[in-house]
Amino acid sequence: MAQTEIRPSRHNLHNTHIIPVKFEYYAPKTLEEALDLLNKFGEDAKILAGGTDLLVKMKMRAVEPKHVINIKGLKELRYIKEEDGEVRIGALTTWRDLEKSEVIKKYFPALYDAVKVMAGVQIRSMGTLGGNLCNASPAADSAPPLLVYEAKVKLVSKDGERIVPLTEFFTGPGKTVMKPNELLTEIIIPKPEEGTGSAFIKVARTAMDLAKISAATAVKVENGTIKWVRIAIGSAAPTPVRAWKTEESLKGQPFTQEVIREKVKLVEQEISPIDDVRSTAFYRRVISKVIVEDALLISHDRVLRGWVK
């Protein structure tokens, strides 16, 4: 009988019980100090916030930084501030903070939906909103809601600071427009205008799993006609994406299930899903329309009946 070659499984190749990477550790006490370190080490450094993505990647040797800068000590980056026209969220605000915040619940139901389906309580206690964005996974649960709310991020470095709209932030899987010496310090979300409805839907296998596909929508309907609509899809392209064409085609249309079902067919053309361990391109394409339609109906329903959670 021919001997079958025995190969180690992926799990045997990677011992997830240790971090097989040596690095220098820094725990700056001030933002100034953190920016100095980042400026000095640039691409050789990685920022440690919640650690739920970075340490997994280091265990898998997907990243091997020479320097790890733990910014958990920067308490000044953990806040949710309600201001006149916007809400400002510090980058180190955890998912649990978002979950418990009345401000988030009140203004950003789609973001609240995302919090409620994002992993478990432990990961929510550790993971930060800034970390979720900087990790730049196409499946990042915070991305589609923040995209439909037209959020911006503040990037700070020794050279100064800049504000980047989230629609221009992601450039590829794990890639963003951030320079090696920049730190994301704040997420700025404009308050939605009165009468806006929004929702987020995620399709995943188990509670802890990443999304096969996800969608967030926000819609403003006046006298039965769609004034504007925003649609964002996760896990269906190299980055989380807005469905611009679909949004445009829905503008001015009557808000009925028939019209929406017809128009959301366009979504398929705006995404470029792949086959991977979580799902297939075919399934993602089929389901994208369904969850966008559902999210739109829920969004509108929340305006009609009021959003209570």
Partner 1 sequence: MKVPIQFTLNGEKVSMEVEPNELLLNVLREKLGLTGAKYVCGIGECGACTVLVNGEPVLSCLTLAADVDGKEVTTIEGLAKDGELTVVQRAFIEEGAVQCGYCTPGFIIMIEKLLQENPDPSEEEIREFVRGNLCRCTGYVNIVKAAKRAAKELKEMSQKLSQK
Q: State in angstroms the smallest separation of the CB of 192 from partner 1.
A: 27
Considering only 13, 62, 163, 208, the residue that binds partner 1 (CB under 8 A) is: 208
User: Tokens 């979950």 identify what position?
Assistant: 99
Cβ atoms of residues 181 and 159 within 8 Å: yes
Selected from 28, 51, 174, 238, the binder of partner 1 by CB under 8 A is 51
Cα(291)–Cα(295) distance, integer angstroms: 6
- The yes or no reply on residue 70 touching partner 1 (CB under 8 A) is yes
User: Within 84-143, which residues bind partner 1 (CB under 8 A)?
Assistant: 96, 119-123, 125-126
| Nearest distance from C-beta of residue 65 to partner 1, angstroms | 11
User: Is the Cβ of residue 55 or residue 303 nearer to partner 1 in the bound state?
Assistant: 55
CB atoms under 10 Å from CB of 30, counted, come to: 11
Region near partner 1 per CB under 8 A, out of 15-23, 180-188, 236-244, 291-299: 15-23
Q: Which lies closer to partner 1 via its Cβ, residue 21 or residue 31? A: 21
Query: Where do we find the tokens 């951030």?
Result: 178
> In what helix (H) or strand (E) does residue 289 lie, and over which residues does it extend?
helix 281-305
SS3 216: strand
Q: How many residues does the chain have?
A: 309
DSSP of 101-121? -HHHHHH-HHHHHHHHHSS-H
By the criterion CB under 8 A, which residues form the site for partner 1?
15-25, 27, 48, 51-52, 55-56, 58-59, 68, 70, 72, 96, 119-123, 125-126, 207-208
